[in-house]
Each structure stands twice: as C-alpha cells, then as structure tokens.
Amino acid sequence: MDTDPALPIPISYISGSYYLFSIDAVTYLRREHHICGVLIGTLPQIPQQNVFLAMPLQLMPEEARLLVDKGVACIVDEVKAHKDGMTSIMEEDRKRYLQDLEAEGLQAMRLQNRRKEQLREEALKNLDAKKAAKASKKAAQKQDNAAGDDFALELFAGGEQAQDAGPQRPTPSETAMAVTPSTSYPPMPSRPTSDQILPSPEVPSSYPLFAHLHTKGYFLSPGLRFGCQYLAYPGDPLRFHSHFLVVSAEWDEEINLMDIIAGGRLGTGVKKGFLVGGAEQTGPGSEDSVRMFSVEWAGM
C-alpha cells in the first residue's frame, strides 16, 4: 500500500495551474508532507456535484512552491512533455502499447467472468441445499398424506430444473474491457527531461506565512469558504476541524481595523481563531521572520 513515488515528483503545470495525476504521489504528499491540495476530478455523469471528487489533484501555487523548495517535487511543462513524448513514441511502441492494453482488458474481462461464474455456482448450491431440505420435509409429510401430490412435486422439481438449464452459461464473451489508464506512462517517458522542467512557481506575498504555518505542522487549504486566504488545520483535515482563518498582510500594508474585527467575529462564530500575519521586515538584507497574531472576540 505504501508505495512511495520516485522523487522528485513531477507536478504538471497546465495553463497556469498545478496538477498531480498519480495517486501514489497524492497519498505520499498528504502523508509525509502535509500537502492536501484539492481534488477536482468529478463524475462524468454528474459533473455538477462536488461531494465525490477524485483525481486529478490541483495544488495551490504556494503548495507547489513549497514542495519544490523542499526538493520533493519539480514543475513540469506538461504541454511540452506531452508533445515530446508523443513524437518520441515509435510506431511499434504504439502498437505494442495498444496490444498490452487489449491484453489487460481481456484479463480484466476474464477475471470478471470467473467471479460471476463463482457467484452463480454458489447461488445454485444454496438453491440445491434449500430444495433438498424442502424435499425431505415434504417426504416426511408425504408418508402421512396420500401419494397424490407426488406427481405435482416431481413436475415442480422438473420445472425448476428446466429453468436452471435455461440460461445455461453464456459463453464468456471474448470482447476485451475498455481500459483507461490514469497515467500516460509507460508509453511516454515517466521522468521529465531537464528541458521540460520549469522554474519555481510564482507565489503571492502570503507565501512566507504559508510556509511558516506549514513548518509548524498545520495543514493548509484554500480559505474561500470562510472568506479568508487559508484555513489552518492542526492535523489532517479528515480528522480535525480547522483552528484558524488565516489572512496575510505585508509588513507595512495598511490594514483596515474593521477587517480585524470582522475576521475575529466570524472566527469566533465558527469556533476558530482569526490569524493575521506576515513576514517581518527588520531591515534591508536581514532575514525575514514571520510574525502573526491570533484574534478572538473577548466576550464583553
């Protein structure tokens, strides 16, 4: 289960956003690096719902940057990688890949048929057992009663047997199942070449605060739902409620005091703290540290 992906994990950069397509990478990053991202794959039949979302995973630029800075991931120009990959595939490779896919589909179909067969046999066995129990009960009754029912019973039994024989094993259709792989390698090269790697992602000025909270062990997710920049969870969001509504400001940025009051009031209303912070500019050239302040309603 714990299949760790090869590092650095390639993050696909597609038209301004950062995506992950490998489930191994997603689980690994969540488990080891507290990066959750947002699942954006929806059901093709019900594309409007957002309750059951699946791969791919979209990352905030801050998350992508953090992973690159840690050396865990690299940013890949997906369009270029795709084009390069497609041109590098030979005709034979393509054919072999298609054959592999078909073989995989056949295998899947066979497995499914075998499972169906097993279920059917089990069901039949149960039915036989039931019938035998019924018959023995009936036999006991028959000794008391007249033998008139005998014929009818046999007719019944025969009828049931005939029904059983009716849909007799449809020969497993040898059509292969359609397999849609979630990743584009093996046919494409799985590791990006150096000319497909992009520089570190551009991040908003809130990145120092983001990184600081992340190093403190918080899981951060986008904060739109609570009208803030990030939501900070003290552990995995599946297990914890968030602790803070996080808003970042620059060191000399004018803060409207009313925003602090509004944030504090909203945070208290949803049992969270309102956290405002940013990178401290102590002087030119000195290393920036992050200062932050938590705000709660005082109740008076």
Partner 1 sequence: MTSETSSPSSNPPTTPAEPSALTTLISSAAISPTTPLSAATLQVLHNLQHQHLWTSLQIHRLPLPEAPPSSSDVSYVSSTATTAFVISGVPPNRIYTHPDEQLFMLERGLRDNDIDPERTFVLPTVEGQSWSLRKMAAVFDSLPQVNEGLASLAPEGGSKGEELQSRDEKEAKIAEYLEYRNSARMTNEWGGKRLLLSMVDRNMGGDGTVVYYVVQEGAVKPRQN
Which active-site residues does the annotation give?
233, 241, 272
Which CB sits closer to partner 1, 71 or 284? 284
Q: Which residues on neighbouring strands pair with residue 57, listed in sequence order?
A: 20, 39
Q: How far is the CB of 276 from partner 1 (least distance, A)?
A: 7
Which CB sits closer to partner 1, 25 or 295? 295
Beta strand 54-59 with 38-41 is antiparallel
Q: Smallest Cα–Cα separation from 231: which of 241, 201, 40?
A: 241
Which CB sits closer to partner 1, 202 or 253? 253
- As a whole number of angstroms, the longest Cα–Cα distance in the chain is 110
The residue count of the chain comes to 300
Q: How far is the CB of 300 from partner 1 (least distance, A)?
A: 5
Q: How far is the CB of 294 from partner 1 (least distance, A)?
A: 5
Which CB sits closer to partner 1, 11 or 245? 245
Backbone angles phi, psi at 66, to 5 degrees: -60, -45
Q: What is residue 11's three-state secondary structure? A: strand
Question: Is-contact 223 209, C-beta < 8 A?
Answer: no
**Which residues of this chain interact with partner 1, rule CB under 8 A?**
213, 216, 218, 232, 234, 243-244, 249-258, 260-261, 264, 267-268, 271-273, 275-278, 280-281, 291-300
Which CB sits closer to partner 1, 178 or 300? 300
The answer to whether the peptide bond before residue 8 is cis (omega within 30 degrees of 0) is yes
Q: What is residue 158's three-state secondary structure? A: helix
Question: Is-contact 208 277, C-beta < 8 A?
Answer: no
**How far apart (Å, rounded) are the C-alpha atoms in residues 177 and 93?**
21
Q: How far is the CB of 47 from partner 1 (least distance, A)?
A: 37
Q: How far is the CB of 50 from partner 1 (least distance, A)?
A: 27
Amino acid 228 reads C
- Inter-residue long-range contacts of 121-128, CB under 8 Å, 24+ positions, other chains counted: 124/164, 127/164
Instruction: Please state, in angstroms and as integers, the Cα–Cα distance from residue 232 to each residue in 36, 58, 112, 165, 272, following that order.
Output: 12, 18, 44, 63, 10
DSSP letters for 38-82? EEEE--SS-TT--SS-EEEEEE-HHHHHHHHHTTSEEEEEHHHHH
Q: How far is the CB of 229 from partner 1 (least distance, A)?
A: 14
Question: Is-contact 277 293, C-beta < 8 A?
Answer: yes
Which CB sits closer to partner 1, 147 or 257? 257
